[in-house]
Amino acid sequence: MTMTDFDILGIGNAIVDVLAPADDAFLDREDLVKGSMTLIDADRADALYGRMAAGVEASGGSAANTLAGLASLGARAAFVGRVRDDDLGKVFAHDIRAVGVAFDTPAATEGPGTARCLVMVTPDAQRTMATYLGACVGLGPDDVDPEKVAAAEITYLEGYLWDPENGKAAFRKAITCAHEAGRRVALSLSDAFCVHRWRGEFLDLLSNGAVDILFANESEIAALFETGDFDTALQAARALGITAALTRSEKGSVAIAGDEVHVIDAVTPEKIVDSTGAGDLFAAGFLFGLTRDLGLARAARLGSLCAAEVLAHYGPRPQVTLADFVAGRY
Amino acid sequence: MTMTDFDILGIGNAIVDVLAPADDAFLDREDLVKGSMTLIDADRADALYGRMAAGVEASGGSAANTLAGLASLGARAAFVGRVRDDDLGKVFAHDIRAVGVAFDTPAATEGPGTARCLVMVTPDAQRTMATYLGACVGLGPDDVDPEKVAAAEITYLEGYLWDPENGKAAFRKAITCAHEAGRRVALSLSDAFCVHRWRGEFLDLLSNGAVDILFANESEIAALFETGDFDTALQAARALGITAALTRSEKGSVAIAGDEVHVIDAVTPEKIVDSTGAGDLFAAGFLFGLTRDLGLARAARLGSLCAAEVLAHYGPRPQVTLADFVAGRY
């Protein structure tokens, strides 16, 4: 196998988050399910934003957050995603490059604006998201460069990419390119509703060797295997024969591969402020651990540490250099 | 005197802040003076943003922050300021309206984009700002509605408005309208460099009855009276015969009016994260106290409490409802 240019290449939706506090009654009135991600159109986005509280804007996108975390840990990271050439697109490109991620997908010069995710943060620190995909729907297989995929040790895909038709085609192409080059593919299931939408196709990908490393939280793995019992889902995941990290919020995580099963405690910050990005940053730490051959248990501990950093503040990406934050702690 | 529609009308620059961490060496390399505000043009803004770390965006603007704080305390608040009809302009308008401030200055449909302030936050929690005024330079006397000024108990002006020529004319018109209607005018000196630029004109305004209530921090009042000794500046401020609140960071504040002199302790949050907006929120609390006839000492205590809320997090505006935050504490 040839040398790699990147530890991880991520492909996902390029989104700017708008985070604002909200209460449960607001979520009810807006018909939003707490903790989930709902896709909305431009009109609904305008109307919902109009009713939201004053907020802050921060670059987001699930895979993009993970890649930002990886770069902050010191990994060689690249991202593919589509913005428009508007204010928010410039913010997205600035933020991901500023943390050291290679990002050169050209911004669209026409069509819908840069995607935004309206994130309502309830007093229990849960985040509920409504996403207008905007320019993201323009991402397609032409944006996936086979040479770049071949140059990355692991290609990381977010399940959300399965929603737009073009994204799905880009996703499939990336898997083919990676495996032809002898590289690995990682997948995040993204969201329980996303799993409901694409359950059969995700199960196919996981059973037929398309995915080597799986990330899922408790509700996503429950949706995938249609069970409310975590251990039942765990045994089903083990039967897939792949590497998987199953995250359980304050209950920690379970990392599996072959015969290995590690049950790792969560790292809880003094105060949990906002869960946005916690799963994405767990993935960053875990993937970093895999590329550094730290073993499953240390990789999962590193994931928990990275998640703890973003749990302690508003917004989905680290506010400190993760390499310093985690030093000597895993 | 007729009834008022608003407790406070604010006129100022309508700005979206881009906040990112930086170290002292970065400020040196960029030739920026820690704690100050520098005006920059569009090219410099693009270049500086390109070198800044990944950040978050949050609505800002000195007077706008104060008005947002006033609304959060429960005051009837209105704001006049100029954005463009771009992404950041929509963010500014959304955020100030969402907190309950009346804001109906039409967005410019051509010309420079919405103003942005690049805020570099150093590890000591100090903020250093570089501002591209953009669409703000379009604000002029036509935007000052005499009826609206007459309908506000106090009209609050930021010294920064003195920088663009049109802003100065708007500022003068607002003073005339307010006093013709028997209302009061408050002024924030904004920044020591701003005071250096306009020292003679500010002294004229303060000596000739144009300003009834003055806000200044220690470096601003020192610049105004060209002295490094706080007490010397304090005595000079007392000689103006107006109401003034002089803020001194961790040393607290001194509030004066006629024979009254109150020395009020600061309220220090557990952890000081970012000083952006602290002065603006002190002004919000103090002005709220004046409109509720709480007396100088309680007004200054309320100002300290409001400042403490924004010191504890990134960004220049409160993240909680201030009326709840300060309840029973002043």
> Closest residue of B to A49, CA-based?
B94
Chain B residues near residue A55 by CB distance under 8 angstroms: 58, 94-95, 98
Of A21, A50, A57, the CB nearest to B57: A57
What's the whole-model pTM score? 0.88
Q: In what order do the strands lie in the sheet with A6-11?
A: A102-103, A77-80, A6-11, A152-158, A184-188, A213-217, A243-247, A253-257, A260-264
Q: How far apart are CA A41 and CA A85, in angstroms?
A: 20
Least confident of A285-289, B74-78, B184-188, B259-263: B259-263
Gap from B242 CA to chain A (nearest CA, Å): 35
For residue B307, which amino acid is it? A
Q: How far apart are CA A168 and CA A270, in angstroms?
A: 40
**Hey, is the C-beta of B68 within 8 angstroms of any chain A C-beta?**
yes
Gap from B319 CA to chain A (nearest CA, Å): 8
Taking alpha carbons only, the member of B131, B83, B136, B132 closest to residue B109 is B83
Q: How far apart are CA B158 and CA B61, in angstroms?
A: 9
Q: Report phi then psi at A104, rounded to 5.
A: -135, 20
Contact between chains at A53 and B99 (C-beta distance less than 8 A):
yes
| pLDDT band for position A32 (cuts 50, 70, 90) | very high
Contact between chains at A50 and B94 (C-beta distance less than 8 A):
yes
Chain B residues near residue A317 by CB distance under 8 angstroms: 54
What does the mean pLDDT of chain B come to? 95
| pLDDT band for position A7 (cuts 50, 70, 90) | very high
pLDDT at position B1 over 60: no
Contact between chains at B98 and A59 (C-beta distance less than 8 A):
no
Per the CB < 8 A criterion, the answer to whether A79 and A103 are in contact is yes
B124-177 confidence digits (pLDDT tens): 999 999 999 999 999 999 999 999 999 999 999 999 999 988 999 999 999 999
Mean pLDDT for A123-132 is: 95
Q: How far apart are CA A87 and CA A99, in angstroms?
A: 19
> Closest residue of B to A48, CA-based?
B94
Of A52, A58, A95, the CB nearest to B98: A52
Which of B56, B67, B274 should be substituted to probe chain A, the one whose Cβ sees the most A Cβ atoms within 10 Å?
A: B56
- Look at chain A and count its residues: 330
Other Cβ atoms within 10 Å of B311 Cβ, number: 22
Mean pLDDT for A197-220 is: 97
Q: How far apart are CA B38 and CA B148, in angstroms?
A: 31
pLDDT for position B2 = 65
**Hey, is the C-beta of B319 within 8 angstroms of any chain A C-beta?**
yes
Contact between chains at B113 and A87 (C-beta distance less than 8 A):
yes
Long-range contacts for B296-299 (Cβ within 8 Å, ≥24 apart)? B296/B243, B296/B255, B296/B256, B296/B257, B296/B260, B296/B262, B297/B255, B297/B262, B297/B264, B298/B330, B299/B245, B299/B255
Strands A152-158, A127-132: pairing kind: unpaired
pLDDT for position B77 = 98
pLDDT for position B208 = 96
Distances in whole angstroms, Cα of residue A5 to Cα of each of A94, A102, B150: 22, 11, 66
pLDDT for position A2 = 65
Per the CB < 8 A criterion, the answer to whether B157 and B189 are in contact is no
Strands (E), B228-323: 243-247, 253-257, 260-264
Per the CB < 8 A criterion, the answer to whether B139 and B115 are in contact is no
**Hey, is the C-beta of B214 within 8 angstroms of any chain A C-beta?**
no
Question: Which residues are registered as beta bridge partners of B79?
Answer: B10, B103
For residue B25, which amino acid is it? A
Taking alpha carbons only, the member of B81, B117, B214, B84 closest to residue B159 is B214
Chain B residues near residue A98 by CB distance under 8 angstroms: 20, 52-55
Q: How far apart are CA B305 and CA B297, in angstroms?
A: 13
Mean pLDDT for A282-291 is: 98
Of B21, B50, B317, the CB nearest to A54: B317
Of A21, A99, A315, the CB nearest to B56: A315
**Hey, is the C-beta of A173 within 8 angstroms of any chain B C-beta?**
no
A52-91 confidence digits (pLDDT tens): 999 999 999 999 999 999 999 999 999 999 999 999 999 9
Contact between chains at A313 and B317 (C-beta distance less than 8 A):
no
User: What structural domains does chain A harbor?
Assistant: 6-13+60-111+137-326 (3.40.1190.20)
Contact between chains at B98 and A319 (C-beta distance less than 8 A):
no
**Hey, is the C-beta of A91 within 8 angstroms of any chain B C-beta?**
yes
| pLDDT band for position A3 (cuts 50, 70, 90) | confident
Q: How far apart are CA A56 and CA A20, in angstroms?
A: 7
B207-253 confidence digits (pLDDT tens): 999 999 999 999 999 999 999 889 999 999 999 999 999 999 998 99
Chain B residues near residue A314 by CB distance under 8 angstroms: 56, 313-314, 319
Q: How far apart are CA A209 and CA A175, in angstroms?
A: 10
Mean pLDDT for B278-288 is: 98
Of B20, B59, B86, the CB nearest to A54: B59
Per the CB < 8 A criterion, the answer to whether A150 and A173 are in contact is no
pLDDT for position B314 = 87
Chain B residues near residue A94 by CB distance under 8 angstroms: 49-50, 52, 54-55
Distances in whole angstroms, Cα of residue A225 to Cα of each of A163, A242, A283: 20, 15, 21
> If DSSP codes are grouped into helix, strand and coil, which group holds residue A207?
helix
pLDDT for position A1 = 52
Taking alpha carbons only, the member of B22, B74, B47, B58 closest to residue B327 is B74
Q: In what order do the strands lie in the sheet with A127-132?
A: A37-39, A127-132, A115-121, A15-21, A56-60, B56-60, B15-21, B115-121, B127-132, B37-39
Per the CB < 8 A criterion, the answer to whether A189 and A215 are in contact is yes
> Closest residue of B to A88, CA-based?
B87
Taking alpha carbons only, the member of A171, A161, A155, A170 closest to residue A212 is A155
Question: Which residues are registered as beta bridge partners of B124?
Answer: none
pLDDT at position A314 over 90: no
The dihedral built from the CA positions of residue A30, A33, A36 and A37, taken in this order, carries a sign that is: negative
pLDDT at position B3 over 90: no
**Hey, is the C-beta of A1 within 8 angstroms of any chain B C-beta?**
no
**Hey, is the C-beta of A69 within 8 angstroms of any chain B C-beta?**
no
Consecutive H or E run containing A280: helix A278-291
What does the mean pLDDT of chain A come to? 95
> Closest residue of B to A318, CA-based?
B54
Q: How far apart are CA A178 and CA A191, in angstroms?
A: 24
Per the CB < 8 A criterion, the answer to whether A52 and A20 are in contact is yes
Taking alpha carbons only, the member of A29, A24, A3, A266 closest to residue A150 is A3
Contact between chains at A94 and B54 (C-beta distance less than 8 A):
yes
Contact between chains at B54 and A113 (C-beta distance less than 8 A):
no
Q: How far apart are CA B1 and CA A327, in angstroms?
A: 65
